[in-house]
Amino acid sequence: MTLRVLTVDDSRTILAMLHHTLSNAGFEVLQAEDGRQGLDMLKNETVDVVITDINMPVMDGIEFIRNVRATGQHNSLPILILTTETSQDKRDQGKAAGGTGWIVKPFDPEKLISVIHRVVH
């Protein structure tokens, strides 16, 4: 069965790289450019894991995660935070909002896949 990944990032470059890496690894990839789009997508789509950036316009990653969890529909949906922050700050905020884990940019493709497998069945 193909796993579906929702990627949320305002950077097209990152989206394109995620798409490439993930689809090469056999995932089906959905894309959203900010948290609001991501939320809208989750209303209609079933995904197995979400990868989201933190710094985004319209709705940032923290708020996005908080909103996803607040729907009550996605309590066991793993959400990975994409972050370039080397400080613990953003990661903690993301986690407090309900993030499952994190991936540090620039990401290594293998690391990315292994982190996904760490949080998805």
Partner 1 sequence: MSDLDDFKATYFDECSELLTALEEEFAAIEAGERDSDRLNAVFRAIHSIKGGAGAFGFGALVGFAHAYETLLDYVRDGRVELTDEVVSLCIRANDIVADHVNAAQTGEALDADYGAEEKARFDALARGESGEDDEGGEPLEDFDIDFTPVMVNLGHAEGEAAVEDVFDVPPMAPAEGSWEIRFTPHRALYARANDPLLLFRELAALGTMRVKARMGQVPPLSDFEPFAVYCSWEISLSEPSLTEAQIREVFEFVDGDCDIAITQAGAVPAADLAAMEDDLLLDTGESDLASLLALTEDEMALPEPEAAIASLLDFAPEPKPVAASKQDRFEEAPALSFADLAATIAPASVAAPKPVAVAPKAMAPANSDGEESHRSNGVQSIRVDLDKVDRVVNMVGELVITQSMLTQQMDETLRARYTELVRGLEVLAQTTRGLQDSVMAIRAQPVKSVFSRMPRLVRELATKTSKRIKLETIGENTEIDKTVIEQLSDPLTHMIRNSADHGIESPDKRLAAGKSETGTIRLSAEQAGGNILIIVEDDGAGINRERVLKLARDKGIVAPDFTPSDEQIDQLIFAPGFSTAEAVSDISGRGVGMDVVLSNIKKIGGSVHVRSWTGKGCRMTLRLPLTLAVLDVMLVKVGESPYVVPLSSIVETMQCSRASFERVPSGGRVLQVRGEYVQVIDLGKRFGLAKPASSADQFVVLCESEGSQKVALVVDDIIGQQQVVIKSLEENFERVEGIAGGTILGDGNVALIVDVQGLRTTHLHQNAA
What does the per-residue mask of binding to partner 1 show for 5-44, with x meaning CB under 8 A? -----xxxxx-xx--xx--xx----xxx----x--xx--x
Residues 6+ apart with CB under 8 A from 9: 15, 18, 33, 51, 52, 53, 56, 82
Instruction: Tell me: does residue 69 bind partner 1 (CB under 8 A).
Output: yes
Q: Which amino acid, residue 54?
A: I
Q: Which amino acid, residue 78?
A: P
Given 36, 59, 63, 120, the residue binding partner 1 (CB under 8 A): 120
Look-up of token digits 């993301």: 94
Q: Are 30 and 45 in contact (CB under 8 A)?
A: yes
Least distance between partner 1 and beta carbon 38 (Å): 10
Instruction: Tell me: does residue 78 bind partner 1 (CB under 8 A).
Output: yes
Instruction: Tell me: does residue 108 bind partner 1 (CB under 8 A).
Output: yes
Dist CA 105 CA 121 (whole Å): 24
The CB-side HSE value for 22 (13 A sphere, CA atoms) comes to 26
Q: By CB under 8 A, name the binding residues for partner 1.
A: 1, 4, 10-14, 16-17, 20-21, 24-25, 30-32, 37, 40-41, 44-46, 48, 55-57, 69-70, 72-79, 84, 86, 91, 95, 98-102, 104-111, 113-114, 118-121
